[in-house]
Structure 1
C-alpha cells in the first residue's frame, strides 16, 4: 500500500520514527541485517537495553541474561556481529527487538537468508512470542514457513487483498491457488 495511516491505541503514528514507535510497544525486525557488525552479541543487545532510561545496570544485565537464554544465544555472546550465521543473526535481532518489551512485533521477511534449521528455530520463537501474548505481524513471501506459524493470514496480489482467513482456509481457496500458491502447493 502506498497510502493510509497507522494507529496504535487510537494515536496516529504514521509518521513517527521507529524508535518512537518502539517506546509505544511496537517492535520492528527489518528484512535487512540490523545488528552492529563490529559489536559482540552481548553489546548489540546491551546497546538497545541502555536506551531504556528506566533500567539501571542491574536491570540491564538481568534482561540481557534472560534474552540470551530465551533465544539460545548465550554460547555466542562474545561473537562479533559480522561473524554470525544468518540464523544466529536473526536470533540476535529478535533479542534486540524484545529488549524493548514490545506488545506487538512487525517481522519483515523473517525467514529470508536463513538455513532450514534456523527457519524451524525462528518458527519456534514466533510461537513462543505468541504464547506470551505478543502480537506478531509477518510479511513474507515464504508462504509455507509463514502459514505454519500464523493463526490468521492475508494474501495480496498486485497490491490488493484477495483473501484472508486461517491458513487452511487460504490453502483451500481457489483464487489464492490460482493467483499465488499454484494448484499443487502443500504444507
Structure 2
C-alpha cells in the first residue's frame, strides 16, 4: 500500500502545448512530493524543456492545470511561482562568473526585502547548507563544474 499523498506537492494534470500547429507536449501529468527530486528523460524534441517551462511559468500550457499545495497556479506569472518556492536550474550555467561565491549569493539575497542582518544570516546558512563556506571568496570562474552547480542550487 502506498503512503498517503500530502498536499505539499506540485501537480500537473493534462498539460498540452503546441508551437506553430505542432504538438510538443500532449496530455502530460506528474505529481512531485515536497523534497522529491525529479528528472525527465527523453530524446531531443520530446518536450522535456517545455514541460519545465510550463511548470515554472516561462510559458503557458494550451490545456491542463498546474497545482502547488492544492492551489491552481496555472495562470500565475513566473515571479509569483518563484515566491511560492518553484525554481528551475537550466543546463546552462547561471552564475556571475566574475563574482565570488559570496557575491553571487548576495546578489540574489539583495533582491529580497530583508534587513541586512537577516541577509547575512541567510548567506551563512546557505554557504553551510551546500558546503560552500571554504569557497566563499573564490571567483565563480575558478570553481569546478560540481562546485558551480552547488552555487547555482544555492542561488535558486
TM-score interval for Structure 1 and Structure 2 normalised by the shorter chain: 0.5 to 0.7
Q: Go from structure 1 to structure 2 and tell me whether the alpha carbon gap of 1:39 and 1:14 turns closer, same or farther (over 3 Å shift).
A: farther
CA deviation string 1:117-170 (max 9, x = no partner): xxxxxxxxxxxxxxxxxxxxxxxxxxxxxxxxxxxxxxxxxxxxxxxxxxxxxx
- 1:43 Cα deviation from its structure 2 partner: 0.9
- 1:96 Cα deviation from its structure 2 partner: 1.0
Is 1:16 the counterpart of 2:77? The answer is yes
* Residue aligning to 2:127: 68
Conserved? CA contact 1:7–1:14, under 8 Å? no
* Residue aligning to 2:67: 7
Structure 1: how far apart are the matches of 2:75 and 2:87? 14
Over the aligned positions, Cα root-mean-square deviation in angstroms equals 1.9
Q: Go from structure 1 to structure 2 and tell me whether the alpha carbon gap of 1:57 and 1:32 turns closer, same or farther (over 3 Å shift).
A: same
Secondary structure of 1:63's aligned partner: helix
Long gaps (5+) in structure 1: 98-187
- 1:11 Cα deviation from its structure 2 partner: 2.6
Q: Go from structure 1 to structure 2 and tell me whether the alpha carbon gap of 1:5 and 1:83 turns closer, same or farther (over 3 Å shift).
A: farther
Structure 1: how far apart are the matches of 2:116 and 2:72? 32
Structure 2: how far apart are the matches of 1:14 and 1:31? 25
How many residue pairs are counted as aligned between the two chains? Answer: 95
- 1:32 Cα deviation from its structure 2 partner: 1.4
Secondary structure of 2:87's aligned partner: strand
* Residue aligning to 2:144: 85
- 1:26 Cα deviation from its structure 2 partner: 1.1
Which aligned segments of 4 or more residues in structure 1 are displaced greater than 4 angstroms?
none
Long gaps (5+) in structure 2: 1-23, 26-60
Conserved? CA contact 2:67–2:74, under 8 Å? yes
The TM-score normalised by the length of structure 1 is: 0.46
Pairs within 5 Å for 1:34-183? 34-53=94-113, 55-97=114-156
Of Structure 1 and Structure 2, the greater helix share is in 1
Conserved? CA contact 1:41–1:80, under 8 Å? yes
Secondary structure of 1:34's aligned partner: coil
- 1:20 Cα deviation from its structure 2 partner: 2.8
The TM-score normalised by the length of structure 2 is: 0.54
